Amino acid sequence: MSMNNAYFAQGQDMDHLRPPEGCRPGIDCERWIIRGARVIDPASGLDTVTDVFIDKAGIVGVGQAPMGFTTDKILDASGRWLIPGVIDTWARLREPGQEHKATVASETRAATASGITTVCVPPDTDPVIDTPAVVRLIKRRAQLAGGARVMSIGALTQGLQGKRLAEMVDLKEAGCVAVTNALKPIESLAILRRALEYAATFNILVIIQPQDPSLAHKGCAHEGAVASRLGLPGIPVAAETAAMAQVLALVEETGARVHFVNLSSASAVRLLERAIDDGLPVSGGVSAHQLFLSEMDTDAFDANTHLIPPLRTLRDRDALREGVTRGVISVIHSDHQPHEGDAKAAPFPEAEPGISSLETLLPLTLRLVEDGVLSLHDALQRITSGPAQLLGLAAGGITPGLRADLCLFDPEAAWTLDADTMLSRGRNTPFHGWDFNGQVTHTWVAGRMVFQRFGLS
């Protein structure tokens, strides 16, 4: 797929169901009838062929039009699936600060072409997302881009330096859906404890990527037989579980809501399950690529498989899949990290970690259905209503009153991922040449059609 066979609509921000004053019919205040699609909504359990009605930014009817509803925007969606727009809870767009890698405009357009309507960005930008001014800057750039909605995750500490707490309440009031220190270390457990106490007081979600920096020091692959054979410095599983255990001990004392992101090991899944069984307010997420790849994929020194956390053993991969199946892991995200070509041209240990993964989040999640790991409803729940519930968003479902963030999907379309024609600025993917079944044909964000694949009505 290339930019030449897709249509992207530009428009204003439509965060709320109420249209902006003076909105223009057909542009800001579109009315749509999506007719005859198989409507699949994991949040309500709906799975039936019916019509969906959109007015302004919201869904106003499912199955039956509201009284007096008229429009000439009628889309025949026979044979296709209408699903809630995908919510990606962890993706870097590189702007501001690293526009040589990607921009908000390039990545939000890649997102909408892949059925993603909301993207949550960590705070390790330049400047760091530690003030309301930076939150507003990112929101404005997303509005100008006219693609997917971008939600900021605020910094847990000022400048992500791990020393002084950020003004979390101000960040929440500015629109941040959570706070995190990403992979930046926190100076002491005492500071982390104060941060969790503060967050618990104001019911702010804290996102933690568990990795002990001293144990992970300069590692680039899973510490095991493959890394030893290749001569690569390893990152032990203990780097993940030791950090997790410390946070869980503090959660037990503070009552803070914590979501663990980018889990990579069987041991981490066991720790998370035990904490959930003990009644702690914790949850977990995994990147889609960790459910398919393992340390064996690093064997060819492909820098596109240099990830943090690293790809671990097949046993770990299968344990992550089982955790997703049983609902221990409630969210699947992309961990999108686009890079320019030179960043991946260096030898494996020196290459920058991460893959470009917005365009594979939905396809890989649906591949779990083909592999028998998840039912269709459960797979969609992990990337729609599950993330919406985690972040407290009025999205993730197809119900009157919710925001009209929707994705129309052709389940019969077969395609092959070609890195050279990806819409993201980053072409760094280990999934080049993979075949997928099903493709996004249309995407709506707050009632506006922001993507349509050419050649389709």
Interval 77-106: pLDDT, tens: 999 999 999 999 999 999 999 999 999 999
335 given a catalytic annotation: yes
Contact between 408 and 37 (Cβ < 8 Å): yes
Residues 6+ apart with CB under 8 A from 263: 210, 240, 269, 272, 284, 285, 286, 290, 309, 320, 323, 329
User: Of the CATH numbers 1.10.1040.50, 1.20.120.450, 3.20.20.140, 3.40.50.2300, which one belongs to the domain with range 85-391?
Assistant: 3.20.20.140
Bridge-based pairing of strands 46-55 and 31-41 is antiparallel
**What's the pLDDT score for residue 299?**
82
- The CATH 2.30.40.10 domain(s) of the chain lie at 3-83+401-453
**What's the pLDDT score for residue 412?**
96
**What's the pLDDT score for residue 30?**
83
Q: Is the dihedral of CA 420, 421, 426, 430 positive or negative?
A: negative
User: CB neighbours (10 Å) of residue 143?
Assistant: 17
Q: HSE of 256 in the Cβ direction (CA atoms, 13 Å)?
A: 27
Averaged pLDDT, 318-325: 98
- At 457, the pLDDT band (50, 70, 90 cuts) reads very low
Q: Is the pLDDT of residue 127 over 90?
A: yes
Q: In terms of pLDDT, which residue wins out, 189 or 3?
A: 189
Q: Is the pLDDT of residue 385 over 60?
A: yes
Q: Is the pLDDT of residue 16 over 60?
A: no
Q: HSE of 269 in the Cβ direction (CA atoms, 13 Å)?
A: 23
- At 3, the pLDDT band (50, 70, 90 cuts) reads very low
Q: Is the pLDDT of residue 315 over 60?
A: yes
Q: 55 - beta bridge partners?
A: 31, 58
pTM as predicted: 0.94
In angstroms, rounded to a whole number, what is the distance separating the alpha carbons of residues 285 and 298?
A: 23
In angstroms, rounded to a whole number, what is the distance separating the alpha carbons of residues 344 and 363?
A: 24
- The CATH 3.20.20.140 domain(s) of the chain lie at 85-391
Give the chain's radius of gyration (CA, Å): 21
User: How far, in Å, are 10, 184, 335, 384, 394 from residue 122 at the CA level?
Assistant: 25, 11, 10, 19, 20
Q: Is the dihedral of CA 112, 184, 344, 304 positive or negative?
A: negative
Residue 455 DSSP one-character state = T
Helix (H, G, I), strand (E, B) or coil at 200: helix
Structurally, at CATH architecture level, domain 3-83+401-453 sits in Roll (2.30)
Contact between 368 and 323 (Cβ < 8 Å): no
- At 150, the pLDDT band (50, 70, 90 cuts) reads very high
**Lookup: tokens for 311:** 């790809």
- φ, ψ at 271 (rounded to 5°): -60, -45
- To the nearest whole number, what is the mean pLDDT of the chain? 93
Which residue carries 């997303």 as its tokens?
Answer: 142
For residues 108, 113, 116, 118, the Cα torsion angle rounded to the nearest 10 degrees is 30
Q: Is the pLDDT of residue 164 over 70?
A: yes
**What's the pLDDT score for residue 454?**
73
Bridge-based pairing of strands 81-84 and 31-41 is parallel
**What's the pLDDT score for residue 66?**
93
Averaged pLDDT, 60-86: 96
- Output the DSSP codes for 242-276: HHHHHHHHHHHHH---EEE-S---HHHHHHHHHHH
Q: Is the pLDDT of residue 233 over 70?
A: yes
Contact between 385 and 397 (Cβ < 8 Å): yes
Selecting among 51, 55, 335, 405, the annotated active-site residue is 335
